[in-house]
A and B are shown apart, each in its own frame.
Chain A
């Protein structure tokens, strides 16, 4: 008996080819079924009911979560389907803050688009009456729960792709909201500001914090010189905002637009990416020669750095101490270039155009400011730049191309490929051999580290030693790799980590784009820009060579360290209450905190704590002890950690408790 492997869609015979769901199948034959909660890179949720179809004999079904079966008769636009869709939309809209005109996603909102596409003209259900507070705490994002349609896309993005799980549903029924733990603000939890949640949100419930007003204010301030740097990934994506295809290289137009907007100097972050390659590669070689701890992780992604500070305490020493190219740029401009052109650092405003939301957070970190003057004053995303161009009425397509200013405008292909996953690793590979042996390497292209696979690897031989390189993007992939390293199942020398899928081209500050394909096109653009460069290796950049001559002496010198490197610190994952165990009312009390944060907990902090409780309870001084369990004392690498008044004590394993109790606590209480 022969069972034909076909289904009937709207009367059309369609062959099955292993499609996972009806939705995939219809997309293949050019029918665009609307969705909110379906993303091919995330797990199935099937909750929004927007994607319904009618299946003969089975009724209305969610096409995203129904596998096609041979013989099915499917209707994608029957009267019943239309009715359900419209009702779904009406219900969502009834519960949605419909202040579209002032919404950041006005024009790029899926709810708005679908309401328009399906002709929803009136809403039969009542308005929502509660107004929930907005979360402005983060430097990178703004959350407006009043616009959330509970599709859960952000929840799954953060948990599945980033491996963090900052957001989740809370409450039930009409009280359901999507929120960080305990309704805390993003700035008070382990959010790394990658913005990927906002990039998948179909509405304006999570948006990039808009700093365009600050940028205009800087431009219009006659006292200030406004300098702008443009990250590599911006040049292959900005065109999308103006109808050009993804991946088209629009560098010249970006420069022209920035000049027309009124920026005094337009520079290229790729030059400090070149500098990063040189610094980071030398750092690596020193580590290798000194036999220090391997692997060395890259550090140019601030979301990854923050992730490591929260979750990978024991590997912070393995992070390259190099600042990101953005911060190296700001530092050089304010520290050295300002002087050269006879200006004070505070008279120059450094603006960055970045594909990235986390860069906003990074620029605001206190370690990247000198005497209260930040190295980078403000960060705009590609999205915000597009907004400014529109506001200024510039017709992007018609702009005559211009080139970057000197000196920070001269770059090599190595700095440009920083924009795609694998780029930093490849740039380092182009340099390492030469730095060790003095002989330039013939190979320029390292295809093995390119592309969108979850993990990419390459091995090169340098002076008789095999150097193993791994590249991951998406923090869940980094998390898995860290776990393998911990278990001794993976060993690499250099590991590149980018938080965003696809690397910076997939940053959350880029034009809103629903598909991986767009990101792949942008990456292609990046490698084309590299191919077009006459110089492909960072170490060949003559201007960077001049920076060393004039300002920095040599790679990893003291001057270089001072201007281009940084240090990292542990961060607790969540702010909040401690667990009280003993409270004292005495005036001369002693405070003992035992950390039960993740690292310490896994290192047996509970046993330590239990011993303290017992010793304290038996001690005659117990009236004066304040004992509590706390979450993260931010010294995770040597847990369990305790804090006695202000003194932090590391490595307090249960067998050391008694000694510490007698030495540190009893003596203080006497």
Chain B
């Protein structure tokens, strides 16, 4: 019987760890160990992990002969990098003025309830969902707006978003 660890079968998780770490080394070797390669390396590594884990940043610093503090500095300077684990689905709820007035808050609550997130936690333990609020997605005409990965959903209501998430889960299960 396979054991379940954090939602993923153990075997798969382990190959995942190894595959990702091998990929990190492949990226470093391919892009070279010069300091100017740092940003491209971080970009590719982030694609692998969906964020930049601390220990991997330390590893990259070691490989490039940089101090961990300066790698950390670069990783926190650019908005494109994230140092927190992000879920497979990043759900952004717009809380700009227009969206707020039109009820983005109940939508946010509904999402959190649906994916089982409480308090300040942004990402689910199984790394499936990350829920964030943003100040404006530039689609005020459709307020309230929710963005899931690259897709925009307008005129959301708590009911509508719950249906969308149900649907997403179904597709996801079929994929796996």
User: How many whole Å from B86's CB to the nearest CB in chain A?
Assistant: 18
Question: Please, how many angstroms separate the alpha-carbon atoms of A168 and B70 in the complex?
Answer: 6
Q: In the bound complex, what is the Cα–Cα distance between A119 and B113 (angstroms)?
A: 56
Question: What is the bound-complex CA distance between A596 and B21, given in angstroms?
Answer: 12
Q: Answer yes or no: A245 CB below 8 A from chain B CBs.
A: no
B25 contacts chain A at the CB level, 8 A cutoff: yes
Is A610 at the interface (CB under 8 A from chain B)?
Answer: yes
Give the residues in chain A near B69, CB-CB below 8 Å. 165-168, 170, 179-181, 189
Q: Is the CB of B77 within 8 A of A181?
A: no
Q: Which 5 A-B pairs have the closest CB atoms?
A: A165-B67, A181-B68, A168-B73, A168-B69, A577-B55
Could you name 9 residue pairs across A and B whose Cβ atoms are closer than 8 Å?
A170-B77, A172-B78, A180-B69, A181-B67, A585-B3, A585-B5, A629-B59, A631-B55, A631-B59
Nearest neighbor of B68 in chain A, beta-carbon distance: A181
Task: Provide the bound-state CA to CA distance between A629 and B78, in Å.
Answer: 27
Distance in Å: Cβ of B152 to nearest Cβ of chain A: 26
Give B163 Cβ to nearest chain A Cβ, in Å.
Answer: 37
Which of B12-20, B97-105, B136-144 forms part of the interface with chain A? B12-20
Q: How far is the CB of A453 from chain B (nearest CB, A)?
A: 26
CB of B159 within 8 Å of the partner chain: no
Q: A180-B69, A181-B67, A585-B10 are in contact. Are A172 and B76 (CB under 8 A)?
A: yes
What is the minimal beta-carbon distance from B77 to any residue of chain A, in angstroms? 5
Partner of A579, one of B5, B56, B63: B56
In the complex, chain A residues whose CB is within 8 Å of the CB of B66 = 165
B68→A573 contact, CB < 8 A: yes
Contact (A598, B62) CB under 8 Å given A581-B18, A585-B5: yes
A residues less than 8 Å from B14 (CB atoms): 581-583, 617
Q: Are A182 and B54 in contact (CB under 8 A)?
A: yes
What band does the interface of chain A fall in when counting residues whose beta carbon is under 8 Å from B? 35 or more
Interfacial residues, chain B to chain A (CB-CB below 8 A): 3, 5, 10, 13-15, 17-18, 21-22, 25, 53-59, 61-63, 66-73, 76-79
Contact among B21, B68, B73 with A169 in the assembled complex (CB-CB below 8 Å): B73
A345 shortest CB reach to chain B, Å: 40
A610 touches B22 (CB 8 A): yes
Which chain A positions have C-beta within 8 A of B56? 579
Q: Are A617 and B71 in contact (CB under 8 A)?
A: no
* CA of A277 to CA of B70, assembled, Å: 39
Number of A-B residue pairs with CB-CB distance less than 8 Å in the complex they form:
99
User: Which residues of chain B have C-beta atoms less than 8 A from A601's C-beta?
Assistant: 62-63
Residues of B within 8 A of A252 (CB): none
In the bound complex, do residue B76 and residue A189 qualify as a contact, i.e. CB atoms below 8 Å apart? no
Indicate if the CB atoms of A583 and B10 lie closer than 8 Å: yes
Q: Give the residues from 154 to 191 in chain A that come closer than 8 angstroms, CB to CB, to chain B.
A: 159, 164-172, 179-182, 189-190
Residues of B near A168 (CB, < 8 A) are 67, 69-70, 72-73
Contacts of A585 in B (CB 8 A): 3, 5, 10
Given contacts A579-B56, A598-B62, A613-B22, 20 further A-B contacts (CB under 8 A): A165-B67, A166-B69, A167-B69, A168-B67, A170-B69, A171-B77, A181-B58, A181-B69, A181-B71, A181-B72, A573-B68, A576-B55, A576-B58, A579-B53, A581-B21, A596-B59, A597-B62, A613-B18, A617-B18, A631-B62
- Expressed in whole angstroms, the minimum distance between the Cβ of A570 and any Cβ of chain B is 15
Contact B72 A170 (CB under 8 A): yes
Of B10, B14, B70, most A-chain CB atoms within 10 Å? B14
> Are A596 and B62 in touch, CB under 8 angstroms?
yes
> Which chain A residues (588-625) contact chain B, with CB distance < 8 Å?
596-598, 601, 606, 610, 613, 617
Cα–Cα, bound, A629→B53 (Å): 14
Partner of B55, one of A159, A169, A578: A578
Q: Mark A563-589, 1 if CB is under 8 A from B, else 0.
A: 000000000011011111111010000
Is the Cβ of B72 less than 8 Å from the Cβ of A182?
A: yes
Chain B hits for A170, CB < 8 A: 69, 72-73, 76-77
A579 touches B72 (CB 8 A): no
Q: Could you say which of B15, B25, B55 contacts A606, with CB atoms under 8 Å apart? A: B25
| Minimum Cβ distance to chain A for residue B79 (Å) | 8
Chain A residues with CB under 8 Å of B70's CB are: 159, 165, 168
